[in-house]
Amino acid sequence: MFNMLHALTDKQKGILLIVIGSILFFHTVGILQAGLNYIIIVGSLLMIIYGFMLVNIHKKVMAYINKRKEMQ
């Protein structure tokens, strides 16, 4: 993950810090608690999907599905 941070530009890193800092601030103060829960859920799902993409599992799953279709 740290190699990924080196690939970001300074502007992207700044935006990332602003977003993460805002989420932490609102969570600590208790503002928009329900909304922040949805943001955290969506963010975690996006991180999981991005992890699958990095490992190329989606290609393996698609190859398996195509193989199953050919067998039928």
In angstroms, the CA 43 to CA 59 distance is 23
The reported pLDDT for the residue numbered 1 is 53
Please tell me whether residues 39 and 70 are part of one structural domain: yes
Q: Are 36 and 26 in contact (CB under 8 A)?
A: yes
Measured distance between the N- and C-terminal CA atoms of the chain, rounded to whole angstroms: 41
What is the SS3 assignment for 29?
helix
Domain shared by 18 and 51, yes or no? no
From first to last of the 72 residues of the chain, give the pLDDT tens digit. 557 777 778 888 888 888 889 888 887 888 777 777 888 889 899 988 888 888 888 788 889 999 888 887
What pTM was estimated for this model as a whole? 0.48
Burial of 58 (0-12, 13-18, 19+ CB in 10 A): exposed
Q: What is the pLDDT of residue 45?
A: 92
Three-class DSSP category at 30: coil
Same domain, 67 and 40: yes
Domain interval for residue 23: 1-31
